[in-house]
Structure 1
Amino acid sequence: MDNNYFLESIPNIETNEGLRLPQIEAYKAVYDHFNINGKSEHAIIILPTGVGKTGLMGIVPFGVSLGRVLIVTPQLVIKDAVLDSLDPEHPRNFWIARNVFRRFDELPSVIEYNNKTNDWELKEANIVILNVHKLQERLERSLINRVEPSFFDLIIIDEAHHSTAPTWERAVEHFSNAKVVKVTGTPKRSDGELITGNCVYNYPLSKAMANGFVKTLERVEYIPDELFLTLDRNDGTMYSIDQIREMGIKDEDWITRSVAYSQACSLRVVKKSIELITQKRSSGLPHKIIAVACSIYHAEQLVELYEQNGMNVSLVHSRLTPDELKNRLSAIENHKVEVVLHVAKLGEGYDHKYLSVAAIFRPFRNSLPYEQFIGRVLRSIDQEEVKSPEDNIACVVHHKELGLEELWRYYQNEKDKSDIIKWIEKNENKLDRENVTERIIQKSTGHAFEEGEGEFVTKSFIDTDLIKERKRRQAEEAEKLKRLKEVLPNYPEDVLLQMVRRQEEGSASEKILRPDKFIHRKKRNLDDRIKIEMVPELILKYNIKKEANTLASSRLFKGKYSWMPGQLKDNAAMLAAYLEFRVNKAVGVRQRADWGPEEYQTALTEVEELYGFVDKILESELGGE
């Protein structure tokens, strides 16, 4: 094994149009964290489902790792998905498919660690991929019982919100000198606490929506005309759901469990999900339903309902043998089924872009497993494959009385932020400037009965109208390469491209490239902080209509800034302009083209104080939520 492989290889990363911008930016953030800033803290990267976490794990080691890389996943399904994507023998592996490398002999050597892996295989590997259970010390063939602490230079932890479990912590402790990169879709651990480490890059879901990286998402909620429940299965006395709540006979958990286990309630959602998937499959693509149940017993009942309505179903749960699981996942990948029913098995990390209807048959008590399940239908289908607008619209269907309204608000909030981001970008020319464990559910429930026809209410939350691809970064990278060619005309272009991507401090070319890179990124940080974070936060917090001009009478736009309401016709533009002009004034240099590192650092500090000031003014004028 070549210990210098990740340093000497020349991958196509920073100017690669096959990679998504957040993948490139996250890679550079990790590189800077360890190599430029000299940090040793764990680097945390937050990327929403569908943006490209697996691909990111495939490029992070280059220029960062001084030796072998260990990729740790929380469960077998995720491990298999990562391995499939990063299998160098597969003709469509990530590196070849995304033009990171062109030749197979340029790829890293990759192995899956299991009980049969021998010492030679381990020593020959550049990347070792395993499920976290293979790190348990009590197992004789555990990886940490077989290799010395210096065996890996970089550890990448997938779905890092699990990383506080003892096995994860012991593994990190064993390889204590290795750099650690934690990749996740949420900054919170499974227990609700924040993940330990430095968050070097966070790409919010609202931004992924605004850039068209996820499907449009619709909620289809079934609202019964009337719903009646018995107090238990031996008492035939029926109470309306309003009576139960008003009398305090049972709590909300009991109500939602009773609805979840009711075949009458479930059948409504089963039939609606079938109707939705039938419409989608008319385009010719193999769209599928993914459904979640309370328990294996409950899932088996739902399988019967779907099969009685003509659907082929693949039921996936934790009690399947490895061969059974492999066969059922194969049936999904080969489009032999229309419905995927799971119990605490495919809630995270499982990628199948044709999952387009999420049918919920269980209550969720906290946001993490709920968001992970919704994430299964967010992955978009490639535009060249799309045949109908319906192909990239995902539906979430459930019974109203499962109590999911509060959890859904996260998606509503991200959608609202996305709309504001796109509004600001559209009107920018107006600015005068430059392994979740299943919760044990009690089986004691009452019968639930419905009267009337009820109705399904559909609401669209995530809009994927594509905005223009941002070419500015690529143009600037090309300009850097051109300038470097002038300085080093006899060097091959691929070597120069590597130097553009990764330069050691103090070299001759560093003086040419690094200031440009630093200034460019500081400018992006400032612009994003104002447009993508601050303005959307203020507009949502104070329920301000982005397209109206109600802020014209605010104290913010009196005196020196009284001209803004006249030139800028909407609230979003006024807030963005106010923040930017006040920052410019604080820096004291009017044209940003003349700003250097010190000016941008001053601006980033000033804008935080200014945000607090604006927040207080709006609170005094408009009140909080």
Structure 2
Amino acid sequence: MEFIYDPHYFLTSSPNIEENKKLREPQKNAYSKAFEHFVIDNKTSHAIIVLPTGVGKTGLMGLLPYGISKGRVLIITPQLVIKDNVVGSLDPEYPANFWLKYDVFTRIQELPNLIEYEGKETKDEWLELTNIVVVNVQKLQERLANSLMNRLPSNFFDLIIIDEAHHSTALTWVEVLRHFNNAKVIKLTGTPYRTDKKKIFGDITYEYKLSAAMAHGYVKSLEKFFYIPDKLYLTLDDDSLKQYTVEQILQMGIRDQDWVSRTVAYSPECSEKVIVESVKLLENKLSNQNTVPHKIIAVACSIKHAEQIKELYEKHGYKSAIIHSRLSKDDKEKALSDIENHRVNVVINVAMLGEGYDHPYLSIAAIFRPFRSQLPYAQFIGRILRALPDKEVTRVSDSIAQIICHKELNLDDLWEYYKKEIQESETIKYLASLNLDNEEDDSYVDKKGKPKDTSYGIATEEGIGKLIGDTYLTTKIIEQRKREEEEELEKLKAIQQILNIPIEEARKVIAQSKGISSTIRRPDLFIKRKRTGIDSRIKEDIVPSLLDQFSLDKESTDLSSCRIFKGKYFWIPINYKNNGAFLAVYINTVLKDMIGAKRQDWVTSDWDLAEKKLDEIEEYLIKVLEEFTGQA
């Protein structure tokens, strides 16, 4: 078969993007903003797109070159798991590739040429004939003879797309951008901050918040459970005669909180208690013959620690697979195959299944290691957020991910981010109905011949512990799940009374009666995108953020006494019912007043101006609300 290379392919193709109902709004909005950045505004700065896990980042990579790239495209991934995922999704030879599956194109002849760069195995001829090259960053190191930088001229690529761009400060990434220095650069990430907590270099052209993704069902909702022991005792230096409570350890200054959390992490006794509770959560998801193959994903401190966790899960009858960087290729492939084909119930991960691993049936995150920063914690939690395909969801609980950990792992602060996002997601759901115009480390393992590691001690428990859920979470989906559970309990009691049988027998009767659950289930466009973009920013970003920042209840009406409603906008609290609506309508009305015309009369330049004016309105509201809430 002869391959034909069209150097102008991305400029002459006609992909179905703007009116494509199969694409998600954040994908279309992100594409539109990148197009605006490079083509309409003719900017040369790096474009940063922030999308949470599960929203459709790989698909977005498949859209971004069209109309933007004047030549070849290089997609750089930070690790092999992500590279394999990108290649698999965008491979034109794969029947379910992104472009055909989502109706971006309808004929295979319309698809781009794509290759995976594999060093010396990749021939120069293949590079010349391709439109898209996907490469793992390790293959780009300048010291390697077969690095792309040593084989290709600096003008070979017109567009570079960097996935998981918070890694992009590493030397290899910098060398790549220095070599292909005339290429446009788009950076995709789940966070606008690098691994060293500094901002990523470039302009944020589009950011879609996790709260919006939850509100629109692009990712699962989320709840967290702490296991709290009845009594917990710690010992130092294997001296079992002296036991201390956590409070005594900290008050006496014997050890710090990090030592406590490491000790709990390495305690088989503490781990087993969390394992038992995680298994209960899984059994609840799988009850009544649920056909969805939900799984637990666990994270351990080290390979040795992971093996201990595996033994404990299998002791309780749950088949487990361990994934870590030291597995042979064959063992890794077998483990991944066992996961994909549902031959295991538990996946134990040691700094391996972080970014890029896509398995929507991972629904419970069991944490057995301390996290000290947001990024690795967020990457791990991201593994359970990916939503199930709609047609596979059989009950509300299928769309709720759960986190479980021991209270003394001290992860409360890292959970605060998710609490905030969940609260904002509820505000977004409410505002959606508002019409404004009438989204390994192995370092803890004892090495033979080395002194005993004293960075942790021994933890033992007494009594019966308890599981505490975060009562802050009151999303509609979780409330609906509670109603379903209450209804199920009423049915159980009725069956139990009628048949005079134990409650477990009643469960079996209901399950049998249900049987196996069956699975349910151009210019004008540019202006349209601008319009929806402004609406989304008001409803999904500015208002939820303000309500959260100033601890305002969206259902309350206390903002009616705020100074902004004392003058010409006095009518807003009279006509709308709560704080969320007050702010959204106020912002939209002020915006129209600043432009000096109704929305339907705005021209293209007015929409551009409106985006800038939104920044001014938001800054003003922050000052007003600081005064109103006494935070000034």
Match of 1:47 in 2: 51
Match of 2:151 in 1: 146
The letter of the residue matching 1:257 is R
Match of 2:22 in 1: 18
Deviation for aligned residue 1:597: 4.2
Contact 2:11–2:69, Cα closer than 8 Å, also in 1: yes
Deviation for aligned residue 1:102: 2.2
Deviation for aligned residue 1:174: 1.2
Residue of structure 2 aligned with 1:386, choices 375, 393, 400: 393
- 2:347 is the counterpart of 1:340: yes
Q: How does 1:515-530 map to 2 (within 5 A)?
A: 516-530=524-538
State the SS of the aligned residue for 2:82. Answer: helix
Match of 1:450 in 2: 461
Deviation for aligned residue 1:521: 4.1
Q: How does 1:584-595 map to 2 (within 5 A)?
A: 584-589=592-597, 591-595=598-602
Match of 1:3 in 2: 7
The letter of the residue matching 2:12 is E
Q: How does 1:88-237 map to 2 (within 5 A)?
A: 88-115=92-119, 116-237=121-242
The letter of the residue matching 1:565 is P
Cα deviation 1:343-365 (Å, max 9, x = unaligned): 11111111111111111101110
Cα deviation 1:495-525 (Å, max 9, x = unaligned): xxxxxxxxxxxxxxxxxx43x4554444344
Give distance in 2, aligned partners of 1:106 and 1:613: 49
Greater mean alpha carbon deviation, residues 134-143 or residues 101-110: 101-110
Greater mean alpha carbon deviation, residues 230-239 or residues 86-95: 230-239
Cα deviation 1:435-485 (Å, max 9, x = unaligned): xx749558431111112211111237484759xxxxxxxxxxxxxxxxxxx
Match of 2:566 in 1: 558
The letter of the residue matching 2:143 is R
Cα deviation 1:150-199 (Å, max 9, x = unaligned): 22222111111101100111111111122211111110111111111121
Give distance in 2, aligned partners of 1:464 and 1:42: 39
Evaluate the alpha carbon distance shift between residue 107 and residue 550 of structure 1 in structure 2; reply closer, same or farther with a 3 A threshold: same
TM-score normalised to the size of structure 2? Answer: 0.86
Deviation for aligned residue 1:78: 1.1
Cα deviation 1:245-275 (Å, max 9, x = unaligned): 2212111110110011011111011112222
Give distance in 1, aligned partners of 2:15 and 2:91: 17
Give distance in 1, aligned partners of 2:616 and 2:48: 26
Give distance in 2, aligned partners of 1:34 and 1:598: 17
Contact 2:18–2:525, Cα closer than 8 Å, also in 1: no
Contact 1:212–1:464, Cα closer than 8 Å, also in 2: no
Match of 2:515 in 1: none
Cα deviation 1:570-603 (Å, max 9, x = unaligned): 11212222333333333333x2222334544554
Give distance in 2, aligned partners of 1:595 and 1:152: 38
Cα deviation 1:368-427 (Å, max 9, x = unaligned): 01011000000101111112222222111111111111111111111111111222223x
- Where do 5+ consecutive residues of structure 1 fail to align? 467-512
- 2:371 is the counterpart of 1:364: yes
Residue of structure 2 aligned with 1:531, choices 533, 536, 539: 539
Residue of structure 1 aligned with 2:361, choices 324, 334, 354: 354
Give distance in 1, aligned partners of 2:570 and 2:68: 50
The letter of the residue matching 1:169 is V
State the SS of the aligned residue for 2:624. Answer: helix
Deviation for aligned residue 1:278: 2.5
Match of 1:459 in 2: 470
Greater mean alpha carbon deviation, residues 391-400 or residues 258-267: 391-400
Deviation for aligned residue 1:290: 0.8
- 2:248 is the counterpart of 1:248: no
Cα deviation 1:317-342 (Å, max 9, x = unaligned): 11112222222112211222111111
Deviation for aligned residue 1:47: 0.7
Contact 2:363–2:400, Cα closer than 8 Å, also in 1: yes
Give distance in 2, aligned partners of 1:180 and 1:553: 48
The letter of the residue matching 1:219 is K
Greater mean alpha carbon deviation, residues 216-225 or residues 398-407: 216-225
Evaluate the alpha carbon distance shift between residue 421 and residue 147 of structure 1 in structure 2; reply closer, same or farther with a 3 A threshold: same
Give distance in 2, aligned partners of 1:562 and 1:570: 14
Give distance in 2, aligned partners of 1:439 and 1:605: 49
The letter of the residue matching 2:619 is G
Match of 2:503 in 1: none
State the SS of the aligned residue for 2:74. Answer: strand
Greater mean alpha carbon deviation, residues 610-619 or residues 401-410: 610-619
State the SS of the aligned residue for 2:364. Answer: strand
Contact 1:212–1:465, Cα closer than 8 Å, also in 2: no
TM-score normalised to the size of structure 1? Answer: 0.87
Give distance in 1, aligned partners of 2:461 and 2:630: 42
Evaluate the alpha carbon distance shift between residue 92 and residue 584 of structure 1 in structure 2; reply closer, same or farther with a 3 A threshold: closer
Evaluate the alpha carbon distance shift between residue 201 and residue 607 of structure 1 in structure 2; reply closer, same or farther with a 3 A threshold: closer
Cα deviation 1:221-246 (Å, max 9, x = unaligned): 11112211112334541101111122
- Where do 5+ consecutive residues of structure 2 fail to align? 446-452, 479-521
Evaluate the alpha carbon distance shift between residue 100 and residue 519 of structure 1 in structure 2; reply closer, same or farther with a 3 A threshold: closer
The letter of the residue matching 2:64 is V
Deviation for aligned residue 1:135: 0.5
Q: CA RMSD in A?
A: 2.2
Contact 2:50–2:191, Cα closer than 8 Å, also in 1: yes
Contact 1:224–1:452, Cα closer than 8 Å, also in 2: yes
The letter of the residue matching 2:249 is I
The letter of the residue matching 1:151 is F
Contact 2:396–2:477, Cα closer than 8 Å, also in 1: no
- 2:631 is the counterpart of 1:620: no
State the SS of the aligned residue for 2:379. Answer: helix
Give distance in 1, aligned partners of 2:205 and 2:330: 40
Evaluate the alpha carbon distance shift between residue 421 and residue 174 of structure 1 in structure 2; reply closer, same or farther with a 3 A threshold: same
- 2:316 is the counterpart of 1:309: yes
Match of 1:414 in 2: 421
Give distance in 1, aligned partners of 2:320 and 2:98: 30
State the SS of the aligned residue for 1:560. Answer: coil
Deviation for aligned residue 1:36: 1.7
Give distance in 1, aligned partners of 2:230 and 2:272: 15
Q: How does 1:466-545 map to 2 (within 5 A)?
A: 513-514=522-523, 516-545=524-553
The letter of the residue matching 1:316 is I
Greater mean alpha carbon deviation, residues 210-219 or residues 598-607: 598-607
- 2:304 is the counterpart of 1:297: yes
Give distance in 1, aligned partners of 2:123 and 2:526: 45
- Identity percentage over the alignment? 51
State the SS of the aligned residue for 2:385. Answer: coil
Give distance in 2, aligned partners of 1:91 and 1:577: 46
The letter of the residue matching 1:39 is K
- 2:85 is the counterpart of 1:81: yes
Evaluate the alpha carbon distance shift between residue 135 and residue 301 of structure 1 in structure 2; reply closer, same or farther with a 3 A threshold: same
